[in-house]
Structure 1
Amino acid sequence: MSIWFDNVRDAFRTRLWPLPTIAVVFALLLGLALPELDSVIDDDLPGRVGGWLFGGDADAARSLLGAIASSMITVTALTFSLTVVTLQLASSQFSPRLLRTFTRDLFVQLTLALFLATFTYALTVLRAVRGSEEEGGVELVPKVAVTLAFVLAVASVLGLVLFLAHLTEQIRVETMLRTVHRDAVATMQTVLAERNPAGGDPTPVPSPPPEALTLLAEHDGFLTWIDQKGLLDIAVEEQALLRIEVHPGAFLVKGTPLGSAWSTEPGRLSDEVAERIATGVAGCIHVGFERTSAQDVGYGLRQLTDVVNKALSPGINDPTTAIHALGHTSAFLCALSDHDLGPEVLRDDDDEIRVVMQRPDLASYVDLGLSQPRRYGAADPQVLQRIFQVLLDLSHRVAPDQRSVVRDELERLSATVASQPFDPMERAGLESMGHQIRQNLEGPSDEYGAARDG
């Protein structure tokens, strides 16, 4: 239930229309109800309260409401245009995958909701104003309703000023990188358990026998999230063992294998049981047209890497931004090394393994974060120095059984340095950092625990 709620909330927050739509509906209802309330209470309001309310006649109320409605739709169009320009800038200058960061910005959604609600409310109240020359000969000026329209207009002016200030901050690359880093860490802490500092042998996971049922993907698209409880219930009910080879963030192609299932008893699964398992597993594998951060630990790292790649492209040529983004990559990879990245196993009430879900290991994440920046920044010694610094940071944090990951990446980075025509001073500086990393990796096996306990 929690996973389902998190995914629905993520889908809700990454779209611009839900909050403004809710605000428009609420403003419409309020604009219909408040004039009716006004007709009942206006004559009975105390004099002190009435002094704070709108005191004009029907023509003045119409002028005010008309001005508010016309100006608010103009301001809304301006705000929407600025938002679209910001999205275009983020897409072309940094990465298309940063668009979700802007569309889920609650401040932008609330600002649009306020403007549209004010426009809708003023327009709705306007229809309730009647002059004495109209049919019935009784003038109706809903004082409370018109006053509220004025208050909403003032709030919208303040909202516009704050929105411009907020937008100016949001388009800064520092703000975007901080937001991506924060969201990535939040996903990591939600999805991954912390690594046991004492180490220990990983839990052995069963491999599928030759007669295992191959589970196939039923839809094309990105795997957005997996219903783990649903998988466990299926495995327990059918007395089977499931092994899911794909992970959130992977792109599935209809008809290709995504895992396997086999009976805990000797022999093949019956056709009826196999069909139930295949149908049940398909219902637990949720596919979408884009990656989300709900369960995808690597999504934030992919965004950071995209910013680095874009900054190192000839059209942008902004190595400073690349170096800044690599700093966030280093912090995220170091935090990732503190978590359990092995296959995730789900057990039944008898502590028997029922579901095995493969997940990317540390080597996969390090390769995702560093391979492309190393390739595209191979000619810039400052970019390579920052990548060396990422490995140096990791060499201080990784456990003994993870050191080979840093060592392998270091060999690839050293080969890149050796292939470039750097001057002796630049080459010496990079080789010195490589030597320091090797020294850290050759330290005593208990250095990991001592560093973390300290």
Structure 2
Amino acid sequence: MGTSRTTVGDAIQTQLWPIPTAAVVAALLLGVGLPEVDAAVGGELSPTASEWLFGGDAGAARTLLAAIASSLITVTALTFSLTVVTLQLASSQFSPRLLRSFASDQFVQVTLALFLSTFTFALTVLRTVRSAGAGDQSEFVPKFAVTVAFLLAVASVVALVLFLAHLTELIRVESMVRNVHREASGTMQALLSERDPGVGDQPPTLRPPVDAVRLFAGGDGFVNRLDQQRLLHVVVDEDAIVRLDVHPGTYVVRGTPLGTAWPLTPGSLSQEVADRIDDRVTGCVHLGFERTKSQDVGFGLRQLADVASKALSPGINDPTTAIHTLGHISSFLCDLTDRDLGPVLLRDQDDRARVELARPDLASYVDLGLSQPRRYGAQDPQLLERIAQVLLDLSHRVAPDQRPVVRDHLERLRATIDAQPFDSAEQTSLAALAQRIEERLGPPSTQTHGC
């Protein structure tokens, strides 16, 4: 249930409309209700309190409210325009995957909410202002409401200044990769437990029998969430064992295998039971048209790798950004070495393994973070030096059973370096750094592997 709430919260957070829409509704209700309060208590205010409220007549109130409404809708349009330009810049210059981070920025959402709610409130209050007319119609000026509209307008001016400053900070690449790194680290800490130093990454332990039935995807899209508690309930209810070969972040195609299922006791599943398990397990795998951070630890790393790769493209040609991003990739990968990676088992009340969920290991994450930058930056010795520094950082953090991962990428890096026409000084510098990594890892024969 907690994971479900996190997923729904993430879906709402990454949309620009929920907070502004809620603010508009609240402003509309306040604009209707506050003049009623004015009408009820307006004549009972003390002279001291009245001095702090709007003191003009109906004409002045209309002029002020009209000015607030017209100016705020213009400012709102400007704010939307600046936001769209920022989104376009982030998509074209850095990575389309960063648009979720921009859309979820609460400062932008609150600023838009303030502008729209001020406009709505001023327009709603304007309809209640009444001038003295023929007959017994008396003048009515909602002093409370007009004063609140004035204060909201002042707050909007301050918010506009802060928004421009925030937007300037937001579009800096340093801020973007820092925010992505922070979000990715939060997801990692929420989903991955601390690694037991005495236990290596566990290989899959549930081996399906030859007559195990396959489970197939019911739709197309990225796996956004696995409902683990519901999945465990299904296998216990059906007296079965399930092994899923997909994980959040995986793209699945309708009709392709998600995993396998077989009975808890020796035997085989009937076709009716197999179809029912297939249908119920498919309902536990929630798909979406894009990756999200709710259960996808690798999504943030994918974003960082995208920024580095985009910076190395001929159209952008910004290796400094790629080198800077590799620093965040290094930090994230080093933190992953302290986490429990690989497949995870779900157990029933009798402590029997009933569900095995696939989960990337350290090698998958390191490959995701380094392979594309190494390939696209193969001709830049400074970038290759930074990748070597990432491997050196990892060599200080990995456990003995994880060292083959670093060694494999070191050999791939050396092959890339050897294939380039670098001058002797560059070759010497890169070779010396590679040697430091080799010495740190130690001879392959001395490495121990987790069982």
Distance in 2 separating the partners of 1:206 and 1:447: 27
Distance in 2 separating the partners of 1:447 and 1:185: 29
Distance in 2 separating the partners of 1:135 and 1:328: 74
Per-residue deviation at 1:239? 0.9
List structure 1 runs of 4+ shifted beyond 6 angstroms.
443-448
Match of 2:355, SS? strand
Distance in 2 separating the partners of 1:235 and 1:313: 48
Is contact 2:403–2:447 with CA below 8 Å preserved after alignment? no
Distance of aligned partners of 1:5 and 1:31 in 2 relative to their CA distance in 1, 3 Å threshold: same
2:145 — aligned with what? 145
Q: How far does the alpha carbon of each residue in 1:183-206 deviate from its partner, in whole angstroms, 9 at most, with x for none?
A: 001111111111101225837611
2:408 — aligned with what? 408
1:129 — aligned with what? 129
Distance in 2 separating the partners of 1:406 and 1:442: 11
Q: Which amino acid in structure 2 is aligned with residue 186 of structure 1?
A: G
2:352 — aligned with what? 352
Is contact 1:301–1:368 with CA below 8 Å preserved after alignment? yes
1:426 — aligned with what? 426
The percent of aligned pairs where both chains have the same amino acid is: 64
1:451 — aligned with what? none
Where structure 1 has 5 or more consecutive residues not aligned to the other structure, the ranges are: 449-454
2:22 — aligned with what? 22
Per-residue deviation at 1:276? 2.1
Match of 2:215, SS? strand
> Is residue 291 of structure 1 aligned with residue 288 of structure 2?
no
Distance in 2 separating the partners of 1:317 and 1:114: 39
2:90 — aligned with what? 90
Q: How far does the alpha carbon of each residue in 1:63-118 deviate from its partner, in whole angstroms, 9 at most, with x for none?
A: 00000000000000000000000000000110000000100000000000000000
Match of 1:287, SS? strand
1:452 — aligned with what? none
Is contact 2:200–2:401 with CA below 8 Å preserved after alignment? no
Q: How far does the alpha carbon of each residue in 1:146-174 deviate from its partner, in whole angstroms, 9 at most, with x for none?
A: 00000000000000001001001000000
Per-residue deviation at 1:6? 0.3
Is contact 2:76–2:116 with CA below 8 Å preserved after alignment? yes
Distance in 1 separating the partners of 2:44 and 2:446: 81
User: Structure 2 matches for 1:245-256, cutoff 5 A?
Assistant: 245-256=245-256
2:343 — aligned with what? 343
Distance in 2 separating the partners of 1:292 and 1:209: 34
Distance of aligned partners of 1:136 and 1:243 in 2 relative to their CA distance in 1, 3 Å threshold: farther
Normalised by the size of structure 2, how large is the TM-score? 0.97
Match of 2:354, SS? strand
Per-residue deviation at 1:208? 1.1
Distance in 2 separating the partners of 1:252 and 1:392: 35
Where structure 2 has 5 or more consecutive residues not aligned to the other structure, the ranges are: none
1:221 — aligned with what? 221
Q: How far does the alpha carbon of each residue in 1:359-413 deviate from its partner, in whole angstroms, 9 at most, with x for none?
A: 1111111111111101110000000000000000001110111110010111010
Q: How far does the alpha carbon of each residue in 1:336-371 deviate from its partner, in whole angstroms, 9 at most, with x for none?
A: 111111210000111100000011111111111111
Is contact 1:400–1:445 with CA below 8 Å preserved after alignment? no
User: Structure 2 matches for 1:17-96, cutoff 5 A?
Assistant: 17-96=17-96
2:303 — aligned with what? 303
2:161 — aligned with what? 161
Distance in 2 separating the partners of 1:418 and 1:391: 17
Distance of aligned partners of 1:24 and 1:446 in 2 relative to their CA distance in 1, 3 Å threshold: farther
Q: Which amino acid in structure 2 is aligned with residue 89 of structure 1?
A: L
Q: How far does the alpha carbon of each residue in 1:134-153 deviate from its partner, in whole angstroms, 9 at most, with x for none?
A: 67421010000000000000
Distance in 1 separating the partners of 2:199 and 2:62: 74
Q: Which amino acid in structure 2 is aligned with residue 36 of structure 1?
A: E
User: Structure 2 matches for 1:276-287, cutoff 5 A?
Assistant: 276-287=276-287
Is contact 2:204–2:343 with CA below 8 Å preserved after alignment? no
